[in-house]
Amino acid sequence: MNWQDQLISLYLFICKHYQQDLRHYCQRMTNFADLNFSDEEVMCIYLHGVMQGYRTLKLIHQYADRHLRSWFPKLPGYVAFDQRVNQVCDAFIPLLKSLTIDINCKNHNVHTGLTDAMPIIMAQRSRCFRAKVAPQIATKNGYCATKKLHNYGVKPHVVACWQVGELPIPVSVGLTDAGMHDRKAFEQILPFCQKCC
């Protein structure tokens, strides 16, 4: 699939889900907002830029300005684009959920699962006992055996369906404290994974 077909299908996917439920997650602070450049276009450009390998908003905007101006003629300047991405940021989580459900429906015969976790280290060594970031979920009892390091932080756990010759498809993504063992986290989400597969 070339990049034009990829961009069109991404835009149509976002438009379909935006009309269904994503529009309820987008932030609107005023009745007089200029919506010549739609939320769907903002999300499409952002996701297409990420798919092309750009990791910052500035690089994504520069790429869109150089290469996608004919596709999106009302593309605003960088500051306005940045503000619009921040306004629609809450819609990306349900969009990811919709994408996962659509992919799982197409690949419902996949039964081999993969699970993995990695630490997100917020503080380490002597600082881990004084850290105060995200106290609701982060803990001081994290240990990364790979790095042989005690830390303060959290741990994302991902369960995915295996595919031949392709990246695994995420089925479930969860966040726990850094001290939770991978097996315990997997046992908690196993009933939900069985419903999905």
Q: What does the pLDDT read at residue 103? A: 62
Return d(Cα 120, Cα 118) in angstroms, integer: 7
Greatest C-alpha distance within the chain = 55
The DSSP string of 20-66 is HTGGGGS----TT---SS-HHHHHHHHHHHHHTT--SHHHHHHHHHH
> What are the tokens at 38?
């739609």
Domain boundaries of the chain, sorted by first residue: 3-102, 109-196
Contact (CB, 8 A) for 178 and 139: yes
| Residues 103-144: tens digit of each pLDDT | 655 555 555 677 778 888 888 777 767 777 777 878 777 777
Q: What does the pLDDT read at residue 151? A: 81
Q: Is the pTM of this model over 0.75?
A: no
| Residues 38-49: tens digit of each pLDDT | 888 999 999 999
Q: What does the pLDDT read at residue 193? A: 61
